[in-house]
Structure 1
Amino acid sequence: MLVKEIMTTNVISVNKDSLVGEAIDLMVEHNVSGLPVIDDHRELVGILTETDLVIGSKKFRHIYYYPSFFPLADVYKNNKTIEEKLKKLVETKVEKVMTKKVLVVNEEDSIDNVVSIMAENEVHRVPVVNQGKLVGIISQRDIIKAYGKMKLTK
């Protein structure tokens, strides 16, 4: 089975210059835990996940928290109010908090390859690109649905 057979093509994405508050609204409205981040030419430039919003960019995860953006840890450490920290977060550009190094796959990749990538890198979704442009996304849920359909047809 290939990525193109089960990927989501109607991708909810966000522009790198959008505010985090807008991205949060999209995530909540569409019940997704991550958004591919694109530029004005629809080229993939990053990904924004709930994890980025809670504990910061992957490059900062080895330290306990990313103080500029993790509201609760900063509240605890610096006695700032949650409202102050959240206001700063939602008014920040997506580009500042997104993960810039994004794992990607191609439409012609096998599902086995995608599952390996997800498992090895502990990610829940992988953008699908064609010549750098976002054309879809494949998530663990897409793979589970495909497995379910395979079981029903046997």
Structure 2
Amino acid sequence: MRAFDVMSAPALTVSPRTTVEKAAALLAEHGFAALPVIGDNGELAGVVSGEDLLREQLRTRRTAQRVADAMNPCAVAVDADMPVGEVARQLLGHHYRSLPVVCDGVVVGVVSREDLLRALTPQDEVNAARVSKLLCDNLGARPWDVVVLGGAATVLGVFHNHDEELAARDLAASVPGVRSVVVQPCASPA
């Protein structure tokens, strides 16, 4: 698996001419830590982070008007063909939350820690967590034991009545990717 396989695309970017206010609004609206700054031909010109923008706004002598005034021109990027293990080492080793992904020098996406987690977590485990959350949200927080293998979910738990068993089955079946559900009541702990 390569950076291209796990990245978010298209990348939300700004230009050096973008106003600081617009860049800050984009960061806040999308919950990103930083944005790639691209030149006229799509090449990576730098990165501007919320920290960069805040630092510029707090300076007493001058405040940045454009992204070019606040950005870091020494941006680190990963190549689209870089293996995800190396991407993870770059992100974690340098404490980055995300990195631009480039192909022939042009920004084609962004890869974040969340992108890597999503790609490296088996789908059955994701679905089991979704089923557990649905059960807790709708039937109450209990020690639900949910296992999903190949789309087949098994729900073990203490049910107060038959209607709760049916509700658990229906909730589990509502999770995309779950193809079948078995509900197995357990005896309540003494």
Q: Give the TM-score of the pair, scaled to structure 1.
A: 0.73
2:6 counterpart of 1:13:
no
Match of 1:59 in 2: none
**Partner in structure 2 of residue 50 of structure 1:** 50
1:146 aligns with 2:119: yes
Q: Secondary structure at the match of 2:79?
A: coil
How many residue pairs end up in the alignment?
127
Q: Counterparts of 1:54 and 1:27 in 2: how far apart (Å)?
A: 12
Hey, what's the Cα distance between the residues in 1 that align with 2:3 and 2:51?
25
Identical positions, percent? 24
Give the counterpart letter for 1:3 in structure 2: A
Q: Unmatched 5+ residue regions in structure 1?
A: 56-68
Aligned-partner Cα distance in 2 for 1:108–1:41: 21
Q: Deviations over 1:67-118 (max 9, x none)?
A: xx252xx5xxx7x9xxxx7xx34xx110111111111111111111011111
After TM superposition, give the deviation of residue 120 of structure 1 in Å.
Answer: 2.1
Q: CA deviation at 1:144?
A: 1.4
Ranges of 4+ aligned residues in structure 1 off by more than 4 Å: none
* Higher strand proportion: 2
Aligned to 2:108: 135
Matched, 1:117 2:90: yes
Residues in 2 aligned to 1:151 and 1:51: alpha-carbon distance in whole angstroms: 37
Question: RMSD of the TM alignment (CA)?
Answer: 2.2
One-letter code aligned to 2:82: D
Question: Quick one: distance in 1 between partners of 2:41 and 2:51?
Answer: 26
Q: Which runs of 5+ in 2 are unaligned?
A: 126-148, 151-190
Q: Which shows bigger deviation, 141-150 or 32-41?
A: 141-150
User: How many angstroms apart in 2 are the aligned matches of 1:97 and 1:135?
Assistant: 23
